Structure formats: C-alpha cells, structure tokens
Amino acid sequence: EAALMVSTPSPSRPPVILTQDELKKVAAYKAVEFVESGMILGLGTGSTAKHAVERIGELLKQGILKNIIGIPTSKMTHEQALSLGIPLSDLDTHPVVDLAIDGADEVDPYMNLVKGRGGSLLREKMIEGACKKFIVIVDESKLVKHLGGSGLAMPVEIVPFCWKFTAQKLKLLFKDAGCVAMLRTFSETGEPFVTDNGNYIIDLYFKKDIGDLKAASDAILRLTGVVEHGMFLGMATTLIVAGELGVTMKNK
C-alpha cells in the first residue's frame, strides 16, 4: 500500500507516514464524530466504511453513543455490525435514515461518486438515498476530475437473465466513449460475482469522457435488464478526504 505523508517534515517534527488504510481510518473516525445518540445510521460497505462501523461499535460499547440503530448496506456489513453488537434494522421499519457514512471509488469536484467496486451499490443507493445526511469518506487517491475517467470500472448491476445481451446494450450505449463491458467474475474460478441481491455486475471501462453524467445515468437506467448503476449523482452531502496534508471536509 502507498505510504503518504500527513505532515510537513521539519527538523523538530519528523514526518508521520500513514498507509492508505490508516488514511481511510482517519477519514472514517472523523465522520463518526458526527454521529449522535439516538440516530438511525446507514452503515456503508468496504475497507473505509469498515473502520467507521468498527468505531461506532466501540463508542456504543463504551456507552459514549446510545440508542443507535444501524441499517447495513450489505450482508458483509450486516455481519460486521452484528459482531460488534450494533442493533440493526432495515428501510421497511425505518424508511428515514438520519445519517449514512460510506466510502466511494471515485469522487469528482461536485461530490458525484462512483461506487460499487465492492459490489454493494444497490443497497447502498437505496439506503443512502433515504438519508438526511450522507458523509462520504475517502483517502485522496479517490479524487478524480471526471467520473469514469480513471480507467477503472464503472459498475452496473444487472439481472443474470441473458446478461450478454444487456452487456452488449450497455457497450453500445457508450460506443463513442470506446466502452468495454466486462462481466465481473472471480479470477480463481471464472465464476460470475453474484451480488447480495442475486444479480450480476457488468463493469464498464471508458477510453474517453462519457460526457453528461445525468444523461448517461438516465440512459443506463432505461435499459431493461439493468437494476442500478454505481454513479451516485448529487447524493453526498459531506465529503471527508484524508491525505498527505491532513483531513479536509467539504459540504454540499
């Protein structure tokens, strides 16, 4: 993992070197400072969100936080939160969520996100869409100028039925951007990755800018066979970035 500097070196103060995982933890802990007793909390998924969930569990155990109810965004987070003794519920019982804390794969200057490289985008979007406040926590490696421009995957969750047909439709939708559409599989077995909802993920890769994000989002969602995509447009209310020069926070 890349080691990044979090303070300016000086003769009296040696530089503190944090790994990428430690930076994720710094961002996560900062976000948990916004959690208050009695909140209904959306619990994110991934290696950054995991630190936030752990911290919430710790503060509950210490009695610093009380009466928290967590709404997990994946089976994995459900398991983690259970093991930490965080009381859990769902959107059926608690349709309004006070605050969600989650990571992201890409964040653009307008706080639009790509999520779902961990495969949990559907539940994340449902829960984070039901939140009054959504804090996104990242290390600075996630910051991009344009979504989809990092050369990394833009995930789309689709139904398994005739997945090749849907993948081809997705590819054609973005043919001007030189789109490649790949079924997400396990490298060891070649078996498709199956989401918590029993669906497949098509990872889209672009050679060029995809242009207007809202238009791209609408076009993807119009395809029958698509369940949801990993662009989270205008959903984040706060961004916390941990990087070389410390932690920065930005509100919508």
Binder among 115, 133, 169, 184 for ligand 5RP (CB under 6 A): 115
**Which amino acid does the sequence have at 209?**
D
3-state percent breakdown (helix, strand, coil) of the chain, nearest 5: 30, 30, 45
Binding range to ligand 5RP, per CB under 6 A, among 1-9, 41-49, 63-71, 194-202? 41-49
Return d(Cα 89, Cα 108) in angstroms, integer.
31
| Shortest distance (Å) from residue 136 CB to ligand 5RP | 9
Q: Locate the DSSP E strands across the chain.
A: 3-5, 17-19, 40-43, 69-72, 97-102, 106-107, 113-114, 131-139, 154-158, 180-183, 200-205, 226-229, 231-232, 238-243, 246-251
Residue 124: active-site member = yes
The neighbouring-strand residues paired with 183 are 202
Q: Which of 42, 57, 72, 116 binds ligand 5RP (CB under 6 A)?
A: 116
162 Cα distance to chain centroid: 27
Q: Does 121 bind ligand 5RP (CB under 6 A)?
A: yes
Interface segment toward ligand 5RP; rule CB under 6 A; list 89-97, 100-108, 166-174, 238-246 = 100-108
Q: Is 42 in the site for ligand 5RP (CB under 6 A)?
A: no
Which residue in the set 98, 105, 157, 196 belongs to the binding site for ligand 5RP (CB under 6 A)? Answer: 105
Determine, following the binding rule CB under 6 A, whether residue 48 of this chain makes contact with ligand 5RP. yes
Positions annotated as catalytic residues are: 124
